[in-house]
Structure 1
Amino acid sequence: MRTKIKIGPFAENFIKALSPSPKRVLSAGIKGLEKDMGDLKQLEGRLAGYSRLRVGRNRVIFKAESVRGERVIFCVFINFRPVVYELFEQLLASGLIEELKQN
């Protein structure tokens, strides 16, 4: 099954703010998702249904879905480990994440 990676606006803004070296490392880690490579973990509790990729101090929160026979990995949110889960929970509670997925 072919895999396509989509980067959401929150994740894209985080990547753009990085300096070149961390940006390359993070981009390579995200590209590895196509082959299920990297330190991956399914999230639990309020974040169930999402997974995370660890790339150094950064965490990429993503959701994998099958759309018309194609696997789509939607990278929803990226931030540093100490704050990523708390901030993502706040975004989920506000409804912003679901709103983005519908657009």
Structure 2
Amino acid sequence: MAEIIIPELSQLITEVRAIRTQMDRIEALLNEKEGKEYLALTHVAKELKFSDATIKTWCVQGRRHPVSRKLIVLKTYKSEGGRYRVLRKDLEAFKEIFTTK
């Protein structure tokens, strides 16, 4: 019986991942239509030249400002697929805080 369940479970996981990908694409199209540019954390990480894990930490725990020592959190939104997204304008504001001398 375990031999039957495992392939079925594997198939189900594959289908769920495909659905999540489709949902993310639909969500991106809707956001584009509304004029909002949501970025995946991977894209944010590449743009800022930090790891995905570091970006996620900044979203959850914040990043300490070098002068004021305040924790600044990168504002995120959760997509319908359950993934974190960052609005372009929020990323730009975050970058401004850490590049201003």
Shorter chain as normaliser: what TM range? Answer: under 0.3
Higher-strand-fraction structure: 1
Larger Cα Rg: Structure 1 or Structure 2? 2
Q: Tell me: higher relative CO, structure 1 or 2? Use CA pairs within 8 A at least 6 residues apart.
A: 1
Taking structure 1 as the reference length, what is the TM-score of the superposition? 0.27
Taking structure 2 as the reference length, what is the TM-score of the superposition? 0.28
Higher-helix-fraction structure: 2
